[in-house]
């Protein structure tokens, strides 16, 4: 085994870093790593993935190919992932051969809603009331009476509103579950007031750096706008930060972790989901912070001191989704480019479709509210024939 694959110690610039996944999160990791002097290698099944354009080398392969994983581990000093749905066995294989951050255990917990909810509730973190259901184990109507109306979510691979169904009565639940071999989590539908996310960077020795709390607004289950810093009380901010730090510590996490929160109309805070990677709501860090979430991902992977997460300006970020495109033709971004406080970023994806994240833009402002208003105005000004919600309706 190469000495560069040591599991501890600092990995210096000049070494090669590997990333599983070639989407936009992998792209930004590669760009941060290259800027800091590292070489990069991306493994992804899609030869047209955005990160492969910027990487020094790429491996086009399924994530479960042992030959490709062996090539990746032999070529890299350390390996990370850009998304949580990499097969757990692949991460375990890589972990046996060298440094992988975050750990396969952390990713395995976060990639399965059953494991994630069980972890959170067993350690006393506030979660939405839930039950585990499947075709083999369907609780009685009396046992889950308090969870309906609710949301039924697949245990694995659901994101951006996918793999989720509103449940209005027990008959709907029984019908959906009986038709699938997939296990589910049934969550009580909350009267939501607001949604937040917190980015946490945690190093090898447990040192933690927190970014400002972001407030998130969704459309059709997909993040639409994030504004930073969230307009919240000191006590609520402290609660969000303390819960997030405690989750990262309990997971013994190394890397960048995103924690999503719900606040209901009664003022109760709940942990919604964990993302063991940089997060869409944290893209503002590329333009408005001393160090981006991707800089921290490189630093945590390589055992370097974490950088400052200081916010340089209040801001808001708007997602650019595939329904804005006409075929493969780019939308007219003139209004965004004409806004002096806006920064446009496109991901270089070839095939737009409704709900697919194609890019984003960040607007700086004197306040998060002012920046968010500008983002909304610019998004409204883009020519769209149909709303995202109507295009994603089953």
Sign of CA dihedral 93, 99, 101, 102: positive
Query: What ranges make up the beta strands (E) of the chain?
Result: 16-20, 39-44, 57-60, 78-81, 99-100, 130-133, 150-154, 164-167, 184-188, 192-202, 208-210, 214-219, 222-228, 255-264, 269-275, 315-321, 342-346, 357-364
Ligand-binding site membership of 235 (annotated): no
Label the pairing between strands 208-210 and 16-20. unpaired
The pLDDT assigned to 88 comes to 82
Ligand-binding site membership of 272 (annotated): yes
The pLDDT assigned to 38 comes to 98
Q: What share of the chain is helix, strand, coil (3-state, %, to 5)?
A: 35, 30, 40
Ligand-binding site membership of 22 (annotated): no
Tens digit of each residue's pLDDT (9 = 90 or more) over 25-61: 999 999 999 999 999 999 999 999 999 999 999 999 9
Q: What is the CATH number of domain 192-384?
A: 3.30.470.20
Per-residue pLDDT at 384 exceeds 90: no
Ligand-binding site membership of 117 (annotated): no
Ligand-binding site membership of 217 (annotated): no
What are 174's two structure tokens?
A: 């029984």
The pLDDT assigned to 163 comes to 78
The pLDDT assigned to 145 comes to 84
Tens digit of each residue's pLDDT (9 = 90 or more) over 301-356: 999 999 999 999 999 999 999 999 987 789 999 999 999 999 999 999 988 988 89
Ligand-binding site membership of 190 (annotated): yes
Label the pairing between strands 192-202 and 184-188. unpaired
Tens digit of each residue's pLDDT (9 = 90 or more) over 282-291: 999 999 999 9
Per-residue pLDDT at 183 exceeds 50: yes
Ligand-binding site membership of 173 (annotated): no
The pLDDT assigned to 8 comes to 54
Ligand-binding site membership of 153 (annotated): yes
Q: What is the CATH number of domain 3-100?
A: 3.40.50.20
CB atoms within 10 A of CB 288: 24
Per-residue pLDDT at 7 exceeds 70: no
Q: Kindly report each contact of residues 265-270 with a partner whose C-beta sits within 8 Å and lies 24 or more positions away, as own/partner.
A: 265/191, 265/192, 265/193, 266/191, 267/193, 268/126, 269/126, 269/236, 269/239, 269/240, 269/243, 270/126, 270/127, 270/128, 270/190
Tens digit of each residue's pLDDT (9 = 90 or more) over 235-255: 999 999 999 999 999 999 999
CB distance 80 to 74 below 8 Å = no
How buried is residue 213: exposed, middle or buried, by Cβ count under 10 Å (0-12/13-18/19+)? buried
∠ Cα 108 114 116 (to 5°): 55
Ligand-binding site membership of 187 (annotated): yes
Q: What residue ranges of the chain are covered by domains with CATH 3.40.50.20?
A: 3-100
Cis peptide before 229 (omega within 30 of 0): yes
Whole-angstrom distance, CA of residue 32 vs CA of residue 369 = 29
Record: fold of 129-188: Dna Ligase; domain 1 (3.30.1490)
Percent of the chain with pLDDT over 90: 78
CB distance 170 to 148 below 8 Å = yes
CA distances to 229, 232, 247, 250 from 267, in Å: 19, 12, 21, 25
The pLDDT assigned to 392 comes to 55
Ligand-binding site membership of 195 (annotated): yes
The pLDDT assigned to 385 comes to 54
Q: What residue ranges of the chain are covered by domains with CATH 3.30.1490.20?
A: 129-188
The pLDDT assigned to 387 comes to 56
DSSP assignment string, 247-289: HHHHHT--EEEEEEEEEETTS-EEEEEEESS--GGGTTHHHHB
The pLDDT assigned to 394 comes to 44
Whole-angstrom distance, CA of residue 133 vs CA of residue 155 = 10
pLDDT-based confidence at residue 189 (cuts at 50, 70, 90):
very high
The pLDDT assigned to 4 comes to 37
Decide: pTM greater than 0.85: yes
What is the gyration radius of the CA atoms in the chain, in angstroms? 21
């Amino acid at each position: 085994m190469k000495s560069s694959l040591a599991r501890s110690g600092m990995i210096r610039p000049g070494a090669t870093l590997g990333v599983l996944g070639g989407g936009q999160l992998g792209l930004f990791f590669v760009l941060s790593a290259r800027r800091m002097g590292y070489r990069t290698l991306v493994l992804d099944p899609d030869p047209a993935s955005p990160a492969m354009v910027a990487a020094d080398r790429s491996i086009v392969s399924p994530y479960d190919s042992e030959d490709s994983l062996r090539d990746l581990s032999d070529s890299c000093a350390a390996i990370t992932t850009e998304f949580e749905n990499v097969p757990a066995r692949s991460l375990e294989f890589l972990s046996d051969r060298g440094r992988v951050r975050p750990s396969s255990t952390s990713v395995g917990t976060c990639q399965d809603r059953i494991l994630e909810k069980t972890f959170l509730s067993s350690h006393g973190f506030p979660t939405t009331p839930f039950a585990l259901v499947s075709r083999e184990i369907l609780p009685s109507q009396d046992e889950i009476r308090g969870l309906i109306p609710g949301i039924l979510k697949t245990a694995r691979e659901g994101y951006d509103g996918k793999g989720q169904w509103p449940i209005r009565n027990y008959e709907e639940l029984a019908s959906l579950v009986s038709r699938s071999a997939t296990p589910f989590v049934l969550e009580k539908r909350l009267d939501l007031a607001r949604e937040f996310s917190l980015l946490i960077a945690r190093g090898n020795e447990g040192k933690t750096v927190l970014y400002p709390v972001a407030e998130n607004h969704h459309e059709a289950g997909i993040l639409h706008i994030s504004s930073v810093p969230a307009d919240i009380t000191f006590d609520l901010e402290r609660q969000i930060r303390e819960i997030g730090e405690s989750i990262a510590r309990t997971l013994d996490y190394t890397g960048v972790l995103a924690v999503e929160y719900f606040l209901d109309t009664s003022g109760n805070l709940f942990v919604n989901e964990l993302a063991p990677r940089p997060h869409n709501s944290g893209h503002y860090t590329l333009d408005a912070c001393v160090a981006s979430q991707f800089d921290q991902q490189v630093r945590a992977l390589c055992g370097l001191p974490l950088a400052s997460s200081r916010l340089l300006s209040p801001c808001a970020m708007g997602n650019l989704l595939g329904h804005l495109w006409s075929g493969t033709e780019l939308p007219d971004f003139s209004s965004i480019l004409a806004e002096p406080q806006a920064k446009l970023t496109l991901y270089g994806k070839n095939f737009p479709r409704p709900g697919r994240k194609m890019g984003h833009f960040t607007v700086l402002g004197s306040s998060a509210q002012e920046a968010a208003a500008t983002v909304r105005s610019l998004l409204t000004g883009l020519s769209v024939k149909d709303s995202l919600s109507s295009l994603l309706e089953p």
